[in-house]
Amino acid sequence: MIVHHWFNTCKRGVFKPARRYMSSKMAVVWTFLVSGIIHEWILTVLLMSKNKYTCDNGTPMLQCITRNIHLNQTKFFTWHGIVVGLESVLFKMKYVKQFREKSPAWVLTLLIWLLMFPCAHWYFDDYIESGFFHHGQLGIPTLILE
Amino acid sequence: MGEVKYDNVTKEPFRPSMKSIIKKLFHFHAGLIVLGIYSSFMYHHDFVVLDTSAPDSTFFSLWVRQAFNNIAICTLFQVYLSVLLIPESLIANFLYNVEVIEVLHNPVFSSTSVSEFWGKKWNLVIHGMLKV
């Protein structure tokens, strides 16, 4: 199937070559960085999030795109790659292991919310600006309260 | 979007049962109602619930407000994906007679670490693509 071919391409194209040149932790960060670059391309070029206003007045397409890349997606995914790399180091420590075993799941969930979500607008702002959710609302039953 | 679910022992793909199809249809309709109510609330607020543009806000209050907004929109994104991918898995069930993997396992509310979030809960199809 085409899908299977694509899976193998990505495995061979992203994680395995990275593993050849660096440690597995760095390969994880690299894989996150590649995710960031792919999202950057999807949101800047396909969903046209940043350049929807500046492209109206006849400026060439390529110029609007390059002018409006702010690398937010790359920032977001690099941050998450670093956090995942740090976790793999921290979770081997004795006290961290004990803390994770003793504390209930909701405490750990709250703690990772504090790590993940304060900078998640780097990821979601592009979706909101590009009208992804606004357009998606057309296909969903909506309540209108006046 | 889907990846075929294989039996680990026999290496054969799982076949869908009538019970699982009925369960999926129930989850889709119940999920559509929840999604409708929740996304109406978010749409009413233009998908940003709390204002983060106030110039006099301190770092801490901005941090908390942004975290709140992002948890709200991330929950919406999660419900979107988990509800709207059910019909696609049903299409795979009917056309190819195979079972496909679940793409999300409630990542926002049940992960206990960031690596668990990305590795075991969020978008497992992409995870299979990027890692060996």
**Residue boundaries of the structural domains of chain A:** 2-132
Give the amino acid at A53: Y
Query: Which tokens in the block code for residue A140?
Result: 């969903």
pLDDT category, B19, cuts 50, 70, 90? very high
Phi, psi angles (nearest 5°) of residue B129: -75, -40
Name the residue among A88, A112, A124 with its Cβ closest to that of B117. A112
Alpha-helical segments (H) within B45-104: 59-84, 86-96
CA dihedral B102, B108, B113, B118 (to 10 degrees): 40
**Which residue on chain A is closest to B1 by alpha carbon?**
A3
Per-residue exposure over A18-45, b if at least 16 CB sit within 10 Å of its own CB, e if not: bbeeeeebebbbbbbbbbbebbbeebbe
Residue A64 pLDDT > 80: no
| Average pLDDT of span A7-31 | 73
Which residues of chain A have a Cβ shorter than 8 Å from any chain B Cβ? 3, 6-7, 10-11, 14-16, 31, 34-35, 80, 83-84, 87-88, 91, 100, 105, 108-109, 112-121, 124, 127-128, 133-134, 136-137, 140-145
Confidence at residue A2, expressed as pLDDT on a 0 to 100 scale: 47
Q: Which helix (H) or strand (E) holds B19?
A: helix B18-44
| Average pLDDT of span A78-91 | 89
* Partners of B4 in beta bridges: B100
Residue A1 pLDDT > 60: no
| Average pLDDT of span A94-109 | 93
Residue A76 pLDDT > 60: yes
Confidence at residue A38, expressed as pLDDT on a 0 to 100 scale: 83
Alpha-helical segments (H) within chain A: 2-10, 16-21, 24-41, 61-67, 72-90, 94-102, 105-116, 121-129, 132-136
pLDDT category, A118, cuts 50, 70, 90? confident
CB A119 within 8 A of CB A79: yes
- Contact (CB<8Å) A117/B3: no
Confidence at residue B27, expressed as pLDDT on a 0 to 100 scale: 94
Residue B93 pLDDT > 70: yes
Which residues of chain A lie closer than 8 angstroms to B66, CB-CB? 117-121
Distance CA A8, CA B132 (A): 9
Write out the DSSP string of A57-95. TS--HHHHHHHT---HHHHHHHHHHHHHHHHHHHTTSHH
**Which residue on chain B is closest to A25 by alpha carbon?**
B115
Residue with tokens 């990027």, as numbered in its chain: B130
* Partners of B13 in beta bridges: B6
